[in-house]
Structures are given as C-alpha cells and as structure tokens.
Structure 1
Amino acid sequence: MGCCNSASGAEGGEFLNSKLKDSVENGPLKKFTYYLALKSSELKGNFNIDLLTFKNSENDSVNLLGLCFIFGRLDIVKYLIEIYSASFLSMEAHFHKHATSALHIICEHNYIEMMEYYVPIYLNLKPSLTSTPHRNLRETINLGDEPDDKISDLSDLSSQSEEYITPIQSACIHGHISIIKFALNYASSLSKVPPEIDIHYIEKSTGYNCALYACKSANYSMIKFLHLICKADFKILNNNKENAIQVMAAEARHKNLVEFYQCLVYLVEKVQIDIKYNYEETIVLLEYVKAVDYFLSKLEILGIKGDKKKVEEEILVKAPYKKEESKFDTDNQFVLSDIFNDLKNNDTSTIKGSEGNGSFSDDGTIIIKEINI
C-alpha cells in the first residue's frame, strides 16, 4: 500500500494535502487550521470539505473527516463540524466502500472519547444510512505501527472472507474493556439496543456473540469481564455447532494464544461450559499437553474415560472422511460426528459416555477445521 499523497481531482495540490494529512496525524489543531485555511483559499468558491479526500496507491480513498477518525483526532472532528459543517453521512459513505464504519474504527483502536462523542450522533444518524455497518473479520488484529498502515488497511477489508463483526465485537477481539464498559452503561439507558453496541448480539452469519469472540482471542481479562460484569452468554453454539471451548481450541491450533490454559480453566470451572458436549471433538482439537491432561481429568470426574491418542487413531481408522466447504472458512473441513457416532456405538474401552449426555447434535453433524494427526 502506498502513502496518502493526493486529494481528489477538483481539489488538487499535493503539498497542501500532505501537510493536512501530517497535521491530522500528529500536529496541533492550530497547525491543521492553518493549512486548511490555505486549502480553502486555494480553491476559493469550489471548496467542499466533504470532497477533500486522500488516496493511496490502490486508488482507495477516505475523506478528511474520516481521516480524523482513523487517527483519533476528536479535536479536529469537532472543529470540522462546527466551522465547516462537515457531513458524517458523507464520511460513512466513504467508509462503507471499504466495508467498515466510524464505529468500527473507534472500537478497534480504543478511542474511548470518540466513542462517547460519536455513539449518540450515530444513533441519530442511523436511519439515514443506507446499511448497517458490518466489518469483515481479518485474520490479524494488529495494524502496523506506521501511520499509513491505518489508511491503507481500509483497502484490505473488501477482500476478506464474509465473516462479519459488529463494532462492539471488534472491541472484544482487540481486548478493549473500556469500550465494552461504555457500551454496557450506554445500552442500559436504551429501550432497544442496536447491534453495533449490543454486547449480547449474535451475528447471524457466524453465530458468534462477544463472548465467543473473546474465547476465540483467548483474552482472559475480557472473558472474565464479559462473564462477571456483562453477564454475557458463553454457552451458545456458533453456526458450526461449536461451543466456547472448541472455538478457542480450534483457534489455538494456528495462533499462539498465551492465556489459553488460564481461559480453559475459567471456562470449565467458573463459566461451567458443558465439557461433555462433543467431548471427542474437543479432545482432538486440544493440543497443549497441559490442557489435554486437564480436560481429560475433568471428563474422568464425570465418568468419561478418554485418551487423546486413541481417539485420534480411531478417527484415522474411519478415514476417508467427508469433506465440506464452509462459507466462512477457507480452510479444509471435515465432519467428525459420523465417526464419533460409530465410536460410541462400537466402543469397548477408550471412550465411555452415558447415553443422552448431549455430546452430539440432533442431526449428528458437527463441522470443524481439518487437522493433521
């Protein structure tokens, strides 16, 4: 991605645009107002604050007001609204082209003062918006340290998989408890909480709520806050019929989740996730020896004796397995339920579960990511 280096055609002038961008990035308000006055004078009667845009090498753009949101410049936002009557609708239209919104930017970067300022404005603005913002979920949750990465990152969003997240879910993924706390308090005063700030909202495309996203990130502080303070529901299943532990274990297979074990213990002992549910799948997904031993010990207390190696060997014996594609995951996947049903019916020693323990769904279909065993 290239740097922002030009404005839209009618409002050219690379030098002033560069100075404006620099002053938004790290300059005082006085410096910004100086260069904006020069820009206004340069364009005379043709100056329109909402049409002043900044482009990168891929020809993607964000307007000046949006640029201020990206860099968290609430002081400049207020100035543009008061002096130039800048349009939030125009800004959101630019963000919409990149499958994001101002609220997503705020929640992702933990701009708490901007959150407090913009949420009431957004709720009044929402009826005029063409669609509700749902951002594509990215694999990485860290933007680069370079300022231009914050802008060029916008162009990456439209190419992501169709796994959508709401702004408040983005805050959960990034571990921003202050944003969650504000949303919780603000929502308490509303008769109907919009999905954008609803901690309990379940995204239809994935079946995820904030609780499951916190588990996917294995963020212990966030999990504990959502459980104790927000009373979030950790016991739902996502659209792949995976519970909170399975979601976290699947993510840990390709990411280093530092607080994984701590989160696992909390989910089992404090949240009391039903560990009997598709426990064979959980055994297969778990990789850390300490986590596997802990999970098996908890199963044994319930009268279920399991052995990870034997479970995996049984799966290999039942191969080949049926492969399916998921709309929300580009990885190969396979269906374990048929294999596990056979194991339950023919088991003589390795896995002993009681009938009706809720380990399998009614239709017998559980889809999880393909793994190497």
Structure 2
Amino acid sequence: MGNCCSTKKHPNFERYIINRMIEAIEKNSVDRIKELLIKYSSVTFNKEPIFHINKPIVKIYGHDMNPLGYALFLGFTEAFAVILEQGKAKLSAMSKLYSNISKRPIDIICELGHRQLLEYYMPYYLGKNDEIEDSFTDSISLSFSPSRNTKSHINEKSKTLMLMSTISPLHRAIEKGRLNIVQFIWEYFKNRSTPNEFNINHQDELTGDNSALVSCKSGNLEIIRYLHEVCKADFQIFNKRKENAVQILAVWSKKIKQKRFKECFRYVIDKIGVDYTYEFEETLLVLEDRSIIAYLEEKLKQDGISVNKSRIEDKYSLSKNRVPITLEPALESKLSKIRGTRFNFGEIFKEELEESKIELSSISNQDLQSISNITFMDAK
C-alpha cells in the first residue's frame, strides 16, 4: 500500500525525465546529467530504472538517437564522457542507432568538426572496445555454429558495412572543410602506425581519390595548402575516372559557386605544379567561372597553346551546322495518312518495297517481319 512508485502519480513522468536529460545534454551540464543518472537510471532491489540510458530520447536526421549519440552529435565531450563512464552507456548501442543513417559515430565527429571529442573518442575507436563499430551485432546475432542462414547474414552485414564505410572519416572531414580535424589526425598518427582511413595518401577504393584530390572538391585553400606544405600529400595522381587535381577543381567549381576556387586553381597550378595541359579542352568545357577560364586560357597561351572556350564549344557542338531534315512530298503525303499508334510498314510502303526488291533480297524474312512491327507515337 505504501509501495506506490512516483510514476503511478505521473503518467508522463518518464517523458518528463527524458526532457530533462535532453536539456541537460544540450547545456553540456555534467552535474545535471550525473544527478539524473543517479536518481533515475540506477537499478535497485525489486525496482526497474525509470530512465534507460541506451534507449532513444531524440531524433537526428529523422532517426532515433540515445543520450550518448546525442551528446556526440552536439560535440559535447564532457556530457559524452559522463554518460559513457558514469552512466555505463554502450558504445555499440549508439553505433547501431547511427547505422540507421548509414554513418558511424567517427564519421559524424569528423564531418561536424568536433576536435576535442575526437581526441577523447579516438582510443575507443581504434581499440574497438565494446564492439564499438559493430553496429549490427545485436540485431544479426551471428552464431559460430554451422547454420543455413549464417552465410546470408554475414553477406548482408558485409554489404551494409561496405555501404557505410565508402568514405573515410578523414575524407569526410576534408570534404566539409574541417581543417582542425585534418590537423589533429595528422599529428595523432605522426609517430604511429596509420590505418588506411586516416592515411593522407590512401586512395578510396571506389573513386581512387586520396586526400589531396578530395580537398580539390572542397574549394578550401587552407586545407589544400596544409595537405601540400605540411602533410606532403600527393596532388599529382589521377582518380579512377582519369581526372587530375585541376579537372576535379573545374568540376567542383561548377557545383559549388565559390570565389575561392580561383585561388585554389592558382595554388594547385603555380605552387604545386599540377599539369593543366592534360585534357585541357575538357577542362575548359566544364568551367563556368569566367575569371578561371581567362586564367587557364592565359596559362595555355604562355605554353604556345592558343585556344579559348568558345572555339572549343563550337568544335564539339552537336547542334550547330546541322541541315534541317526535309521529307519528299510523296513520302510526307503517305505519312500524313497514318492513324493510330501502330502501322504496317509493308502495307504503306508496298510500292517502294516492290521497286527495291532486288536491293532487299539480302535481308532475311525475319528481319523484314521485325521492320513491319515498328511502333510510332501518334503525330499531333
């Protein structure tokens, strides 16, 4: 009778505690988080905790996320550490929730530029503690004993992990212009064995891009300069589409309207010495920024290549210098009588086929049958 729990008096008490935890995390309030953990997430004799630390409390990108994942998303190292250490939150539970958006926690940290959190999290990630990146362990529950479904489960898991890990954390940071993350990774692994995903010159298996080529997509001169001058990244390679750094700059200057691309062009060509004459016509065709076009045309002119974008466009134009198609009056008259969506080629052009019997003699009956079944759209 006197055993009534406070949750009975407050039907939405659990939601109330969740909201308080959300607020505490958003304020990065370690004391408040500790208080909530002690009061409501502890398991006592004959009593279930009101608040479950590994269960979702918010949505990120439309998907559920738990307290640890939310603190990571916001980049609050203190909140993340207290939830992990004192709250005994599971890294694998957080990773599983992030897998729903096809990303890993390390990807989010690098994309969003959470440098301090990366410093704290990196040892966990490299150590793979608590099956940190195996976000499918709980849901797949693979068994070591032979099973009819084990192989398909392993294949499915492998496919999903490949999808998630296509872009390395380092490349994600470079794409987003997170120089602070690039600097930390470079310094962290300077005297350590470097995994491929943090190796400056490692080429992506799908695209063939290394860090240098990825930086050309960002249009971030500071990162390009840092990779070249400090990391000695290789800007001379080609990706799997046979594009060099200059061509990648050209493509992305069109996708991202940013004035700084011209500075990147100058640095990559004048300072690094990437070959701008390689497939220069294709490069000029892609470019849209007039100042970059003028710069490249001038560089080519200095090398004895007199060319401009408009002449190249004329050269490769598919629409210019074409003679309009005209029909003979007799043929036009025949076609004007066609009605409906189908017609018999042989019937309409019976006379022409008779006159051309000799020329058509080498064509098989089967070929003629296929010609007679051509379908045309209604003319309006």
TM-score by length of 1: 0.68
Corresponding residue to 1:77 among 75, 80, 99:
80
Tell me the matched-pair count. Answer: 283
Identify the range of structure 1 (11-20 vs 61-70) with the bigger mean alpha-carbon deviation.
11-20
SS across alignment from 1:56: strand
Instruction: Please say which of residues 38-47 and 102-111 is displaced more in the overlay.
Output: 38-47
2:180 paired with 1:178? yes
CA contact (8 A) 1:49 1:84 kept: no
Q: Deviations over 1:85-141 (max 9, x none)?
A: 2222222222122211221121122211111111111100179456699xxxxxxxx
1:204 is displaced (CA, Å) by 1.3
> 1:242 is matched with which residue?
243
Structure 1 residue 48 displacement after superposition: 7.6
**8 Å contact kept, 2:54–2:89:** no
Asked if the contact 2:67/2:83 (under 8 Å) is kept, the reply is no
Aligned alpha-carbon RMSD (Å): 3.1
Distance 2:248 2:130 in 1: 35
Whichever residue aligns with residue 233 of structure 1, its letter is: D
Residue of structure 1 equivalent to 2:65: 62
CA displacement at 1:80 relative to structure 2: 2.3
- The alpha carbon displacement at 1:231 in A equals 0.8
2:153 alignment counterpart: none
Give, in whole Å, the separation in 2 of the partners of 1:276 and 1:57: 46
Are the equivalent residues in 2 in contact too, given 1:168–1:180 (CA < 8 A)?
yes
1:93 match: 96
2: CA distance, partners of 1:312 / 1:132:
51
In 1, Cα distance between the equivalents of 2:128 and 2:273?
41
CA spacing shift, 1:57–1:65, aligned 2, 3 Å: closer
State the 1:70 CA deviation.
Answer: 0.7
Query: How much does 1:56 deviate?
Result: 3.4
Q: Does the aligned pair in 2 maintain the 1:50–1:90 contact within 8 Å?
A: no
Looking at secondary structure, tell me which structure has more strand per residue.
1
Tell me if the contact between 1:245 and 1:267 (Cα under 8 Å) persists in the aligned partners. Answer: yes
TM-score, length basis structure 2: 0.67
- Deviation of 1:206 after TM superposition, in Å, equals 1.7
Q: How far does residue 67 in structure 1 lie from its aligned partner after superposition?
A: 1.1
1:299 alignment counterpart: 300
**In structure 1, distance between residues paired with 2:292 and 2:60:** 46
What secondary structure sits across from 1:270 in the alignment? Answer: helix
- Structure 2: runs of 5+ lacking an equivalent: 1-11, 137-159, 321-380
Deviates more, 1:33-42 or 1:103-112: 33-42
Contact persistence 1:300–1:306 (CA under 8 A): yes
Which shows bigger deviation, 32-41 or 258-267? Answer: 32-41
- For residues 105 and 264 of structure 2, what CA distance do their matches in structure 1 show? 31
Deviation at 1:195, TM superposition (A): 3.0
- 1:126 and 1:85 mapped to 2: Cα distance? 13
Mapping of residues 174-323 of structure 1, within 5 Å? 174-191=176-193, 193-317=194-318
Q: Name the % identity.
A: 27
The residue that corresponds to 1:119 in the other structure is 122
Checking the alignment, whether the CA contact within 8 Å between 2:250 and 2:286 is kept in structure 1 is yes
Deviation at 1:163, TM superposition (A): 9.7
1:163–1:205 CA contact under 8 A, matched in 2: no
Structure with the larger RCO, 1 or 2 (CA within 8 Å, 6+ apart): 1
* Partner of residue 19, structure 2: 18
CA distance in 1, matches of 2:301, 2:70: 56
Q: The residue matched to 1:53 in structure 2 has which SS?
A: coil
Q: Does 1:102 align with 2:109?
A: no
2:357 aligns with none
Cα distance in 1 for partners of 2:180, 2:76 equals 18
- Shift in alpha-carbon separation, 1:218–1:188, aligned structure 2, 3 A: same
- The separation in 2 between residues aligned to 1:280 and 1:127, in whole angstroms, is 53
| Residues 50 and 91 in structure 1, CA contact (< 8 A), matched pair in contact too | no
Question: What CA distance in whole angstroms lies between the structure 1 residues aligned with 2:234 and 2:134?
Answer: 27
Partner amino acid, structure 1, of 2:38: A
> CA–CA distance in 2 between the matches of 1:318 and 1:267?
35
